[in-house]
Amino acid sequence: QLSKVLDLPPENLIKSISAVPVSKKRCVADFQLSIASVTEDNSSGCLSQDLNLQAQKLAERLKCDAVVSGISAGPGTVNFTINRELLAKAVLQQVLKEGSEYGVKSELFSTVPRQKAVIEYSSPNIAKKFHIGHLRSTIVGNFIANLKVALGHEVIRINYLGDWGMQFGLLGVGFQRFGNKEKLKSSPLQHLFEVYVQINKAAEDENVKELAKDFFRKLEEHDEQTLSLWKQFRDLSIEEYIRVYKRLGVQFDEYSGESFYQETSQEVLKMLEDKGLLQKTKKGTGVVDLSEKKDLSSFSTVMRSDGTSLYITRQVVDLAAAIDRMNKHQCDTMIYVTDKSQSNHFEHLFHILKLMGYDWAERCQHVSFGLVQGMKTRRGEVVFLEDVLNEVRARVLQNMASAKTTKQVEDPVDTAEKVGLAALIIQDFRGLLSSDYQFSWDRALQNRGDTGVFLQYTHARLWSLAQMHGGEQLTDCNVACLQEPDAISVLQHLLRYDEVLYRSSQDLQPKHIVSYLLTL
């Protein structure tokens, strides 16, 4: 009908018609057409009363039929109510037919090209704390990767480790002094961290500094013994990371790291020099001018000098890594997930790539998130990811033991872990990623209200109802039983799911999906 009256092809109207958000206070229509999105001259800023008038006129030209049972004009919209039985039948048939792919197959995505994305996330530093920022990066990156895969895109998940640099000189010397091969094998992350803390206390000593420089120099020169110890640190750390990530439901296609790009970094420096982008300052440092007027009002440091030797900065290593990934994976987009304190770094990174003539820098994206304050475990501040997982599991187990409604479960520890993870993730995903928030165990683990615990609890109740009452596979249902307002609200809410997915896929914010689930 709209296509005929407005003289527009039907596919042009798909994005202009949306499901109406459900309201607890009143009954609402099912779909609405936004007038502004279909009027030719909406760029000239139609006044709202014109839009309202247009909406009224359009509503008068449309007729109710067997499908549409009500048409009304709203502020700048035309609202449609669908025949109630037809609504129930259409929604439920689609849910039954598509199962877990419901919403993903929507025509909203028909114009979105399938793409290949490289996503870099988590990226902890070996022998240093796995702080809460790494946890956020891990779950946000995993969400983005899962969402893209669900929507039919190809994804390469990369964990880019801090596995190189002067700190490995210190760590090497520290391990020779305080290290223990058995502890390294049984709990590498904890042992290397302890060694690093101990040697850092001694690092004021000039002798230790010299030894550390010496160890790192040998590492750079690929001295066999030194390299083999470093490789042990790296391999055993990755093994333990894999085990801990598994508890989070996270896996990676590639464990990359700064160590991979030591040689290619030199090539990148040469490229910068050949293109005339590298400038030397009086102090001997190397910079790339990023200012419009070429007056160094904005620049990025690519080489540092300590008087005796020149060091390449992380900027160069990241340039080398980006160029290598693009060559290797030929991807459509490259996404970096880190906290917002690194926004400048990535802005500079993408800018330099552009100056070097890499047009694909336009397709690189930094997804940044805010800081979390106040996450402590009973042992004090968070040092390892495992501390957080053990803490949340212990707290949920305790809550389960003291709650009257807890059923006997086969594996209480596993149940506590899953419920606890949902609690952590939902608390993290409720707001905009860029906002900072104050973490609270009590708030995260409440079993009522907008929490992950409540989502899991509701899901478990529905699951047990389904098992008690409906073992057999449904193919048809009597929609006449689903006419009361509550049932209609649920059906209307299900209508909106694809739009919510679409919105999250556009801005990569999980909060749209989370608030949708909490409303559901």
Task: Label the pairing between strands 154-161 and 376-377.
Answer: unpaired
Task: Label the pairing between strands 333-339 and 364-369.
Answer: parallel
Token pair 């040469």 is found at 270
What positions carry a catalytic annotation?
A: 128, 131, 134
Asked if 253 and 261 count as a contact pair (C-beta separation under 8 A), the reply is no
Asked if 137 and 339 count as a contact pair (C-beta separation under 8 A), the reply is yes
How many CA atoms does the CB half-sphere of 411 hold within 13 Å? 7
Beta bridge partners of 161: 257
Q: What whole-number distance in Å separates Cα of residue 281 and Cα of residue 278? A: 10
DSSP one-letter string for 363-398: GEEEEEE--EE--EETTEE--SHHHHHHHHHHHHHH
Token pair 């030719």 is found at 40
What the block records as the tokens of 283 is 């102090």
Q: What whole-number distance in Å separates Cα of residue 236 and Cα of residue 129? A: 16
Q: Length of the chain, please?
A: 520
Neighbours of 4 (CB within 10 A): 10
Neighbours of 414 (CB within 10 A): 11
Q: Give the C-alpha distances (Å, rounded to integers) separating 247 from 116, 244, 356, 394, 409.
A: 27, 5, 41, 14, 19
